[in-house]
A and B are shown apart, each in its own frame.
Chain A
Amino acid sequence: MKLYYFSEMPHHEYPDAEGEKYPSLRLEFPNRFFDREKAHANYQRYLTEYELADQVGFDGLMVNEHHSTPSCVNVGVNMSAAILARTTQRAKILLLGNILPIEENPVRLAEQIAMADLISGGRVLSGFVRGVGVEQWWSNVNPIHNRERFEECHDLILKCWTEPGPFRWEGRHYHFRHVNPWCLPLQTPHPPIWIPGTASPETAIWAGRRGYTFVPFLVPFEIARELFDYYRKGAAEAGRTVTPDKLGFLICAVTADTRAKALEAGRHFVWRMGPTLRGPVEFFSPVGMRSRAGTQFALKARPRSLGSMSYEDLVAGHFIIAGTPDEVADRFALVQRELGIGHLLLEAQESRMDHPTTMRSIELMGAKVIPAIAPL
């Protein structure tokens, strides 16, 4: 099983009491609490941590993108991927991902991902996501069109990568009369495509039909298995066999020299489960963004919100894994047995977890955990 390092590049640099005064940290919490100097220093440390993860043997470095929120100030997944393409040598660079429905120019996206792939020597794994509702508000793209735009944007990017230009694209949402990108990915026919899932059966089926790698995020095991079943259904429709390298899973994880230290560090993940997800349902799932089936599945997938769970509940449910290297290796092996996955994505830094703690966790993962689980 392959391990991936991931940080949301949080900006938890304000008094929590201030954040609590607002209905949500997303969209509503005023950016006068953004600290420019700390952000400068944080970007440096976060990138250093990614570079160490590459050096110690992580199979991949995952980056993501959000907007209008202190929970993630990585505001450009292709920008951070381009930096890592140049400053790291070995690990895959997993963009998970570009938020297709809010993109106005899929051709530009195809070019940027290609450029990161070229600079990195063909290490890009290109994730495509539908995004959370907050990004619909941020971009002001009509959430009614979320799925249509996701699919059309995807189709145009794939055409850019696989069919010679120049060509014309006249779709429902995208219109380009002269498409001929002079920047194509190093990997042929194109970088592997990854798709995350939290609550949408349609997305799982869609990914399965196309043979993309499918990665549920932070859901209970039984929900992940159910999503994988939808994925397999889609794969079967297309006559595909599903191997473990098509399945991944994302959890939060940290290790340290002692169990006590690891458990203390793991508490930093609670912030991303609760405070950063607090807010009206309209912020996260605006009108029309989810199908009726998706809405029904979302209710089932989250019988309890992550925010309502205690740290102990989150650890017991394997949403957070924190322990000595041996302990986390055992837990990762358990996740692998439970889900039959080939990729485990670790959200490995959060909130105010400091630089030395993060660096030590990365070192220990490289020295003890990765060798233990690589053969699985």
Chain B
Amino acid sequence: MRPMKPREERIRVGGIDVHTWIGGDGPPLLVLHGAGGNRGFTRWLERVAQRYTVWAPTHPGFGLSGDAEWMDGIDDLARFHLWFMDAAGLERPHVLGHSIGGWTAAEMATMSPGSIDSLILVVPAGLKPETGEILDVFYYPPPQLVPMMVHDPKTVPEWDALFGTPLSPAQQEIAVRNREMTARLTWKPYMHDPRLAHFLPRITNRTLILWGREDRVVPVECGEQYRRLVPRATLTVLEQCGHLPPIEQPDEFARHVLDFLGGDGRR
């Protein structure tokens, strides 16, 4: 594969500077990150960017993007990213979101299904599990939490690069910011919106739901719930995988994404 170098831009939306990674070649794919923040072009994304032009904005309040202390919930973030699509000139992009980014993507599709091509929801929060519970990620110190995010740290190819070194003060500040903004958006009702289930049947887009069988954060039963509620959704469950499928199984994950989007190179 040809190595490609993504660029960083600041895109102004509603008075907020949105730090955005952009790279790749092909139709646009909007990628919305989870609570851990925007990790940029990690291995899976480099693969996907071979076939798609990836736009990966950092949510307001996270990382290097501007503040949005007025936001109260994921529905605010969804409206914001629909606006971001306008500002960035993205016409009917595919949208892929991970965890709270997946929840955001689902909300966006309920608000404006015609603005989105295909939808990929990766371990999305947003629905209250019918039997289990979503892990209270704020209740645990981050060092204790990180290993709970994955099935087995030893099998994660980029573990050392992503989690293996102590954070610099600047990285630490970003980690605190990410955690604070996540709390602002998801504290109550915790990591779900009771109204979302009523709107999900509006999503007419082709939809792929991806889950890790061993997800200890958002239980896999939520994947079943999404599949039942979104009319054209299929659910794929990755074995021996936790809450970070793009990081835990980057090659397998990228293959599922490319297969679904029809851009896996087999044409």
Contacts and interface: CB of A to CB of B under 8 A. Distances in A.
Q: Do these two chains interact?
A: yes
Interface of A: 137, 140-144, 280-282, 286-288
B140 A282 contact: yes
Interface residues of B, number: 12
B180 A281 contact: no
Contacts of B179: 287-288
B184 A282 contact: no
B197 to A, nearest CB: 21
A142 B183 contact: yes
B141 A142 contact: no
A280 B141 CA distance: 7
Contacts of B199: none
A288 B183 contact: yes
Contacts of B140: 280, 282
A64 to B, nearest CB: 25
B188 A282 contact: no
Contact of B141 (A141, A282, A288): A282
A282 B176 CA distance: 13
Interface string B92-119: 0000000000000000000000000000
Describe A's contact surface by its main secondary structure: loop
24 contacts: A140-B187, A140-B188, A142-B187, A143-B187, A144-B183, A144-B187, A280-B139, A280-B140, A280-B141, A281-B141, A282-B138, A282-B139, A282-B140, A282-B141, A286-B183, A287-B138, A287-B179, A287-B180, A287-B182, A287-B183, A288-B179, A288-B180, A288-B183, A288-B184
Contacts of A280: 139-141
Nearest to B140: A282
| 7 interchain residue pairs of minimum CB distance | A142-B187, A288-B180, A287-B183, A144-B184, A287-B179, A144-B183, A287-B138
B263 to A, nearest CB: 39
A143 B183 contact: yes
A328 B184 CA distance: 48
A142 B188 contact: yes
A90 to B, nearest CB: 44
Contacts of B187: 140, 142-144
A256 B140 CA distance: 44
